[in-house]
């Protein structure tokens, strides 16, 4: 028996897949992502490393891996991040080693990230399966943003402008395998589960669905 065979667990399989899910604010991507996670055995969410301070509600290794600036710099220097972003002066990134370990065990590793993050990941792991969640129309998205009743009209318009930019990028960059239109939430979740299940078996769909 090889060392690799001895390290394998009884639950390990050979159908690991890195799944990228993106979409503009208000499109329902988190609900869809959770639906995929609950329905597909062996699904795990990637936990980002961050330089921000933990809050009282944060759990190390569950919400984030909390590191200082020097440790984050070291991750960058060693090319140990699949993607990274700077948000309000705090840095966030996806550790490569943990993702690769989970993929080797046959897990479905889920990254819910923005278009720029997806672009970075695809450059390093082109075999990742990318799904962008799109609203049926811009008017529908604007109604959904207003329907949440969380923000002022000014903030809604800023989110809407950012959403339009993201959607244009997603279609022009060519980094997503599938553009999945969320016209009916339950139907879209079922579609996402089917697409991901097929992708793990080597059947990869493409285009707008």
**Pairing state between β 49-50 and 65-66:** parallel
**Strand ranges of the sheet holding 43-45, from the earlier edge strand across to the other edge:** 43-45, 108-112, 17-22, 129-134, 178-181, 207-208
Report pLDDT for 156: 87
For 66, the token pair is 């909390």
pLDDT tens sequence across 66-94 = 999 999 999 999 999 999 999 888 999 99
Q: Is the pLDDT of residue 5 over 60?
A: no
Give pLDDT tens digits for 111-161. 999 999 999 999 999 999 999 999 999 889 888 888 877 788 888 888 888
CA distance 136 to 182: 6
pLDDT at 8: 65
Pick from 116, 148, 141: nearest CA to 130: 116
pTM of the model: 0.85
Mean pLDDT of 178-188: 95
> Which domains, from first to last, does the chain contain?
3-46+107-208 (3.40.50.300)
């Amino acid at each position: 028996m090889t060392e690799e065979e001895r390290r394998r667990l009884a639950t390990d399989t050979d159908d690991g897949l890195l799944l990228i899910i993106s979409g503009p604010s208000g499109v329902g991507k988190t609900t869809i992502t959770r639906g995929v996670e609950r329905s597909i055995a062996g699904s795990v969410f990637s936990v980002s490393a961050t330089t921000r301070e933990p809050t009282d509600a944060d759990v190390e290794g569950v919400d984030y891996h909390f590191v200082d600036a020097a440790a984050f710099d070291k991750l960058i220097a060693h090319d140990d991040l699949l993607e990274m972003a700077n948000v309000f002066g705090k840095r966030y990134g996806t550790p490569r080693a943990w993702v690769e370990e989970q993929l080797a065990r046959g897990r479905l590793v889920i990254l819910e990230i923005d278009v720029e993050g997806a672009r970075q990941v695809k450059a390093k792991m082109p075999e990742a399966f990318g799904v962008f969640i799109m609203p049926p129309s811009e008017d529908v998205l604007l109604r959904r943003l207003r329907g949440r009743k969380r923000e002022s009209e000014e903030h809604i318009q800023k989110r809407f402008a950012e959403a339009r930019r993201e959607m244009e990028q997603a279609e022009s960059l060519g980094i997503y395998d599938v553009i999945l239109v969320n016209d009916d939430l339950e139907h879209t979740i079922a579609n996402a589960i089917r697409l991901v299940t097929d992708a793990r078996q080597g059947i990869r769909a493409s285009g707008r669905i």
